[in-house]
Amino acid sequence: DVKVTQSSRYLVKRTGEKVFLECVQDMDHENMFWYRQDPGLGLRLIYFSYDVKMKEKGDIPEGYSVSREKKERFSLILESASTNQTSMYLCASSVSNYGYTFGSGTRLTVV
């Protein structure tokens, strides 16, 4: 089975800190995605990547950046964490037109 692993299940950070959320997939998928999920707002796409060193903005990229230096790893970076970035963050990967595989999520709290 394809596995998408997110490095932390729960994270607490302070306002203004630089935060790295890591995601690794083990099936050589080209595409990787970062979503955030908030009550009443559902899942919203932050950034995605089709290939190494490639990135595209999703629906809500403000306050975030990403890095994809290796095919299997896609990092989400909060340059200066704010309380409104408290959320559940979900990473996913896919091969071209097939189904997405999601990680279990990282629940980030910014205090």
Positions touching other proteins (CB under 8 A) are 4, 31, 33, 35, 42-43, 45, 48, 50, 58, 90-92, 96-97, 99-105
Sign of the alpha-carbon dihedral angle for 8, 87, 58, 20: negative
Q: Which is nearer to other proteins, 15 or 109 (CB)?
A: 109
Q: Which is nearer to other proteins, 44 or 80 (CB)?
A: 44
Minimum distance, C-beta of residue 104 to other proteins, in the bound complex (Å) = 6
Helix extents (H) in 11-68: none
Minimum distance, C-beta of residue 12 to other proteins, in the bound complex (Å) = 17
Minimum distance, C-beta of residue 85 to other proteins, in the bound complex (Å) = 19
Token pair 């009550």 is found at 39
Q: Which is nearer to other proteins, 33 or 74 (CB)?
A: 33
Q: Which is nearer to other proteins, 17 or 26 (CB)?
A: 26
Strands (E), 1-111: 4-6, 10-13, 19-25, 31-38, 42-49, 56-57, 64-70, 73-78, 87-94, 101-102, 106-110
Q: Are 23 and 77 in contact (CB under 8 A)?
A: no
Minimum distance, C-beta of residue 16 to other proteins, in the bound complex (Å) = 28
